[in-house]
Amino acid sequence: MKTTLTYNNQALVADLTKPLDISLPITSEGVNPVAWYLGQPTIEPVRMGDWTGKVSEGSSTNFNNIFFNPHAHGTHTECLGHITRDFYSINRALKQFFFMTELISIQPEEHGGDLVISMGQVEAALAGKTPQALVIRTLPNDTAKRHKNYSHTNPPYLSEAAATFIREIGVDHLLIDLPSVDREEDEGRLVAHKAFWNVKDINNLNTDARHHATITEMVYVPDLVTDGSYLLNLQIASFDNDASPSKPVLYGLSEF
Q: What is the pLDDT of residues 194-218, one digit of tens each?
A: 999 999 999 999 999 999 999 999 9
CB 68, CB 75: distance < 8 Å: no
How far is the CA of 101 from the CAs of 7, 32, 157, 172, 226, in angstroms?
Answer: 10, 27, 20, 10, 13
Domain ranges in the chain? 2-25+73-255
Q: pLDDT band at 9, cuts 50/70/90?
A: confident
pLDDT, tens only, 173-190: 999 999 999 999 999 999
Write phi, then psi, for 178 (nearest 5 degrees). Answer: -120, 160
Please give the span between the terminal C-alpha atoms of the chain, in angstroms, as a whole number: 14
Q: pLDDT band at 1, cuts 50/70/90?
A: confident
User: Is residue 135 scored above 90 in pLDDT?
Assistant: yes
Name the superfamily (CATH) of residues 2-25+73-255.
Answer: Putative cyclase (3.50.30.50)
Q: How far apart are CA 5 and CA 100, in angstroms?
A: 9
Predicted TM-score (pTM) of this structure: 0.97
